[in-house]
Amino acid sequence: MNKTVNQKAWFFVIPVFVLVAFNAIIPLMTVVNYAFQETFGNNVFMWEGTRWFKQIMLSERFHASLGRQFLFTFIILFIQIPLGIAIALTMPKEGIGVPVCLVLMSMPLLIPWNVVGAMWNIFALPDIGFLGHSLNALGFDYNFTQQIGDAWFTTILMDVWHWTSLVVLLSYAGLRSIQPAYYQAAEIDGASRWAIFTKIELPKMKKVLTIAILLRFMDSFMIYTEPFVLTGGGPGNATAFLSIDLVKMALGQFDLGPAAAMSLIYFFIVLLVCWVFYTLMMRNEEKS
Amino acid sequence: MSLELKNVEKKIGLDTHIYPTNLKLEKNTINILLGSTLAGKTTLMQIMAGLDKPTSGEIWFNNENVTGMKVQKRNVSMVYQQFINYPNFTVYDNIASPLKITGVSSDETKQRVGKVAELLKLSGMLNKKPNELSGGQQQRTALARALVKDSDLILLDEPLANLDFKLREELREELPKLFENRDCIVVYATTEPSEALLLGGNTATLQEGKIIQYGKTLDTYNKPNSLVSAQVFSDPPMNIAKIKKSGDQCSFLQNDIQWKTKLNIKDGEYKVGIRPHNITTYKEGNNTLEIKGKVLISEISGSESLIHFTNGNLSWVSLSNGVFQKNVGDEMNLYMNTDEFVYFDQNERLVSNG
């Protein structure tokens, strides 16, 4: 059979290439460009090789914000995943309660991130905020703008409020996909509630939970807007997570080279953790 | 040992799912609940098991009232249409799970699981997990879990419905053997008349939440007490026509075909039911009464041919052995066996058959 050559199909593909180039490749390459050079403005660049990378990798400031970032992410995962599953388990399975719960659960997810930060900032203010004022009235010495522990407490509480719903909705979807016959079979066996949870519900929810953990890891690891509006990274640098620190370096100090190197390292850490996590989960999947 | 439903009724809201039902199932029997989807088979089984409570009425087991008793306290096992196994247990642990909960010693568990696994041809895959198995093997595992327990009551809710044709045939043939020599009552729900005939035992025909007829499977098939029961127990559906009888002469109202009958019933109008396999495309045995037909649809199913045809106002189905290719609109002769006609009165109750 003779193959006819027709290159017109490229016209369908080119728009995608152009779009991806503009929104992903070109910005990324700009960052790569900055990461290996020194600039003093006016488009004057000098080659620096891997100097910025070495500097960032050895910088105590970077280690500190990376440490804060991991601590924050682990704490919120540790709270949100079990809490989300627990809430999903108690949600009604039929009747008018289902749409009511689903809508209520979706509410925090629909609020813009900077609004969440602003809301919690006002809510937690020690003098006029409902939360801050109440805590102080109850005798707690609470001031998130000055005390490190309070700042962390408030940031974590805000994130739990904002994002637990996502875990709830995903877990709920996973739970609803379990056929009633499974519960009946377990009932016939005389299995306990705990056994039903660990032997049926958890294994059946495994896939959605993998997605929930991945999403929550990535989102929380890249968190910026909410703590920026709430605490601005303070007091001091106590809640300056990676992205806040990065913006400070890039736009506050105008250290474009080190900031670019840091954002590349940041990017690879996210990529690496997601890849490791995903491969581990999928390897288990193949085994079982 | 017996299971008895006394006036059991199930309503959900204003809907009646099961109309007051009386049924007595005896020890060592297979009892088939035959009916289409939504006939109430599953609801009835769940009431029998104690998974669901009847709105009114009582369930008696071994002369003990077990109405409302929790399913865990009854010695029941159930197999579903879906393949229900613990997803992260091995086949062995799945089969052993009912024994573990009741505290059977590990030696005995090993022995009993081994025995059941052999019976269900699962011996080679005891270390695999359910999602590594084929659908047929998953359902075998579920069956093994039901059998390992020595239940008093084994309920099977369309266990073969989700299997492909070959696996279904294979497992269907093994099923009667599995229940032999077991000291228990087996209840088996199905939508397929052929499955009921293959399993034997007793059959209850169900429609819209009512048990229409209950008795020995062959009796229920051969002597349907009503047109509804006959229709439930006939696949493809039974052909029905109005007839007139005077003396020993019978004739269809819609055409002038006549035949003689030895039936000892009053003259008058009746309805007659003819099973599709009693109309064939060739003269054979007692299939002698000729009817002209115009082919509506012709389909081949396995080694049988289904021909839907019309004759005047009648629209019937015939089922013949062998493979025939007919074109739509073809005129042809078909042959009926008058000995197998089933006669119903105007109220659709059985008058006589044959």
> What total of structural domains would you count in chain B?
2
Residue A86 has a pLDDT of 96
The answer to whether the beta carbons of residues B76 and B49 sit under 8 Å apart is yes
Instruction: Verify that B183 and B64 share a domain, yes or no.
Output: yes
Residue B354 has a pLDDT of 44
Q: What's the pLDDT band for B278 if we cut at 50, 70, 90?
A: confident
Instruction: Verify that B142 and B31 share a domain, yes or no.
Output: yes
Residue B178 has a pLDDT of 83
For the ranges A35-39, A282-286, B62-66, the lowest mean pLDDT is seen at A282-286
For the ranges A39-53, A96-110, B128-142, the lowest mean pLDDT is seen at A39-53
Quick one: average pLDDT of A28-40?
Answer: 87
Boundary of a domain, candidates B195, B224, B253: B224
CATH number of the domain that residue B140 is part of: 3.40.50.300
What's the CA gap between A53 and A70, in Å, rounded?
20
Instruction: Verify that B179 and B252 share a domain, yes or no.
Output: no
Boundary of a domain, candidates B224, B258, B275: B224
Q: What's the pLDDT band for B101 if we cut at 50, 70, 90?
A: confident
Boundary of a domain, candidates B224, B256, B273: B224
CATH number of the domain that residue B285 is part of: 2.40.50.140
**Best residue of A182, A187, A189, A198 to probe chain B, by most B CBs closer than 10 Å:** A189
For the ranges A39-43, A258-262, B233-237, the lowest mean pLDDT is seen at A39-43
Residues 6+ apart with CB under 8 A from A160: A76, A79, A80, A83
Residues 6+ apart with CB under 8 A from B8: B18, B20, B21, B22, B23, B44, B47, B54, B56, B57, B58, B59
Does the pLDDT at position B279 exceed 60?
Answer: yes
Express as a percent the part of chain B with pLDDT over 90. Answer: 12
A179/B72 Cβ within 8 A: no
Omega within 30 of 0 (cis) for the link into A235: yes
Is B229 inside a domain boundary?
Answer: no
Does the pLDDT at position A119 exceed 90?
Answer: yes
Does the pLDDT at position A41 exceed 80?
Answer: no
Instruction: Verify that B173 and B215 share a domain, yes or no.
Output: yes
> SS3 letters for chain B?
CEEEEEEEEEEECCEEEEEEEEEEEECCEEEEEECCCCCCHHHHHHHHHCCCCCCEEEEEECCEECCCCCHHHCCEEEECCCCCCCCCCCHHHHHHHHHHHHCCCHHHHHHHHHHHHHHCCCHHHCCCCHHHCCHHHHHHHHHHHHHCCCCCEEEEECCCCCCCHHHHHHHHHHHHHHHCCCCCEEEEEECCHHHHHHHCCEEEEEECCEEEEEEEHHHHHHCCCEHHHHHHCCCCCCEEEEEEEECCEEEECCCCCEEECCCCCCCEEEEEEECHHHEECCCECCEEEEEEEEEEEEEEECCEEEEEEEECCEEEEEEEECCCCCCCCCEEEEEEEHHHCEEECCCCEEEEEC
Contacting residues of A for B87, CB less than 8 Å apart: 200, 203-204, 288
**Best residue of B43, B53, B80 to probe chain A, by most A CBs closer than 10 Å:** B80
What's the CA gap between B67 and B77, in Å, rounded?
17
Instruction: Report phi then psi at B291, rounded to 5.
Output: -140, 135
Range of the domain at B72: 2-224
Quick one: average pLDDT of B189-209?
Answer: 89
Does the pLDDT at position A288 exceed 60?
Answer: no
On the 0-12 / 13-18 / 19+ scale of CB atoms within 10 A, A110 is: exposed
Quick one: average pLDDT of A213-229?
Answer: 91
Quick one: average pLDDT of B32-48?
Answer: 89
Instruction: Verify that B249 and B102 share a domain, yes or no.
Output: no
A vs B, Cβ pairs < 8 A, gives 46
Quick one: average pLDDT of A25-50?
Answer: 85
What's the longest Cα–Cα distance across chain B?
74
Quick one: average pLDDT of A164-187?
Answer: 92
Instruction: Verify that B204 and B245 share a domain, yes or no.
Output: no
A59-287: CATH number: 1.10.3720.10
Residue B339 has a pLDDT of 83
Express as a percent the part of chain A with pLDDT over 70. Answer: 98
Residue A278 has a pLDDT of 83
Instruction: Verify that B139 and B62 share a domain, yes or no.
Output: yes
Residue A76 has a pLDDT of 95
Residue B225 has a pLDDT of 87
- Which residue would you say has higher pLDDT here, A44 or B109? B109
Does the pLDDT at position A24 exceed 60?
Answer: yes
Q: How does B140-161 read in b/e, with b if 16+ C-beta sit within 10 Å?
A: bbbbbbbbbbebbbbbbbbbbb
Residue B322 has a pLDDT of 84
What's the CA gap between A135 and A124, in Å, rounded?
9
Does the pLDDT at position A285 exceed 70?
Answer: no
Instruction: Verify that B214 and B299 share a domain, yes or no.
Output: no
Instruction: Verify that B152 and B67 share a domain, yes or no.
Output: yes
Nearest to B86 among A179, A190, A200 (CB): A200
Count, residues in chain B: 354
Nearest to B77 among A188, A199, A288 (CB): A188
Q: Model pTM greater than 0.90? A: no
**Residue B247: Cβ within 10 Å count:** 8
Does the pLDDT at position B286 exceed 80?
Answer: no
Is B315 inside a domain boundary?
Answer: yes
Extents of the domains making up chain A: 59-287
What's the CA gap between B285 and B189, in Å, rounded?
35
Quick one: average pLDDT of A124-151?
Answer: 90
Contacting residues of B for A94, CB less than 8 Å apart: none
Does the pLDDT at position A179 exceed 60?
Answer: yes
**Best residue of B86, B91, B154 to probe chain A, by most A CBs closer than 10 Å:** B86
Instruction: Verify that B203 and B76 share a domain, yes or no.
Output: yes
Q: Rounding to the nearest 10 degrees, give the CA dihedral for residues B181, B185, B189, B194.
A: 40
Residues A54-76 have pLDDT tens digits of 888 888 889 999 999 999 999 99
Does the pLDDT at position B287 exceed 80?
Answer: no
B84/A189 Cβ within 8 A: no
Residue A73 has a pLDDT of 95
Segment of A72-76, A138-142, B18-22, B58-62 carrying the highest mean pLDDT: A72-76
Quick one: average pLDDT of B192-201?
Answer: 88
Residue A286 has a pLDDT of 60
Contacting residues of B for A191, CB less than 8 Å apart: 97, 101
Instruction: Report phi then psi at A216, rounded to 5.
Output: -70, -35
Instruction: Verify that B192 and B75 share a domain, yes or no.
Output: yes
Is B71 inside a domain boundary?
Answer: yes
Mean pLDDT, chain B, whole residue set? 87
What's the CA gap between B29 and B16, in Å, rounded?
29
Instruction: Verify that B70 and B152 share a domain, yes or no.
Output: yes
Does the pLDDT at position A287 exceed 70?
Answer: no
